[in-house]
Amino acid sequence: MDRFRNKQPAYDFAVTWRPYMLNPTLPKYGVDKVEAYNQKFGESRVKAMVPHLTSVFKKEDIDFSFGGLISNTMDSHRLLNIALGNGDAAGRATQDKVVNLLFKAYFEESKNIGDPELLTQVAAEAGLDVENVKAVLASDTGVDNIMAEMAERNEGVNGVPHFIIQNKYRIGGAEDPQEFVEIFDEIAVSSQ
């Protein structure tokens, strides 16, 4: 989006992050990420995947780290719903901040984004009501909503990241940012 904004500053984006769980059977407190990926994809595919992901992330000034734990992300999704609030611009901005903090924790710092302590720290950094977040995470509040939203929205989605742009264009996987720019250009031309 930043690349497109640099070319076309008059356009604005309304981004809402939606839930998708890659592996809902993972435990909340996590398992070794490399071992889990090796089991899921095979060791040779993982070895090929890491340099590709490192390269894609590096282009975006992200220091990709492949260690740490991978876990069930239900609580992360519940935190994102808390951040979104009623879905207005302020809620989307807070949700975006939480997503960026979670991405940094997971992709750069190899932290477990299913850990309630980390989620509470992220909530505090994003300016959310920490006591409310703790109460929600200690309960099952919002789980049914997340499950219903995933059932409704995730048809045809088989991995992340997955982007749905104006309910028309779909981009799945870690793709070159130029692909987004081309879609945004097409939308800009068609809206004139």
CATH number of the domain encompassing residue 59: 3.40.30.10
Give residue 2's pLDDT.
74
Please tell me whether the peptide bond between 51 and the residue prior to it is cis, using omega within 30 degrees of 0.
no
Residue bearing the bigger pLDDT, 98 or 156: 98
Task: Return phi, psi of residue 162, to 5°.
Answer: -140, 125
Residue 155 vs residues 79, 88, 92, 151, 184: alpha-carbon distances, Å: 23, 25, 23, 7, 23
**SS3 at position 39:** helix
pLDDT exceeding 90 applies to what percent of the chain?
Answer: 54
Across 19-41, average pLDDT? 90
Residue bearing the bigger pLDDT, 126 or 2: 126
Closest CA to 184 of 60, 1, 9, 14: 1
Across 33-44, average pLDDT? 93
Residue bearing the bigger pLDDT, 15 or 112: 112
Could you tell me if residue 66 is left (phi over 0), alpha (psi between -120 and 50 degrees) or otherwise beta? Answer: alpha
pLDDT band of residue 125 (cuts 50, 70, 90) is: very high
Give residue 11's pLDDT.
80
DSSP character string of 65-84: ---SEE---HHHHHHHHHHH
Residue 190 has pLDDT above 90, yes or no: no
Domain total of the chain: 1
Residue bearing the bigger pLDDT, 90 or 163: 90
Give residue 168's pLDDT.
86
Give residue 162's pLDDT.
82
If you average pLDDT over each of 2-6, 124-128, 177-181, which comes out highest? 124-128
Domain that holds residue 186: 2-190
Across 103-132, average pLDDT? 97
Residue bearing the bigger pLDDT, 34 or 191: 34
Task: Return phi, psi of residue 167, to 5°.
Answer: 55, 20
Contacts of 9 (CB under 8 A, 6+ apart): none
Closest CA to 161 of 75, 90, 102: 102
Instruction: Please provide the average confidence, as pLDDT, over all residues in the chain.
Output: 90
Contacts of 114 (CB under 8 A, 6+ apart): 26, 28, 29, 30, 69, 71, 72, 73, 74, 75, 76
Contacts of 81 (CB under 8 A, 6+ apart): 19, 142, 145, 146
Give residue 167's pLDDT.
81
Across 133-142, average pLDDT? 97
Give residue 164's pLDDT.
83
Residue 175 has pLDDT above 80, yes or no: no
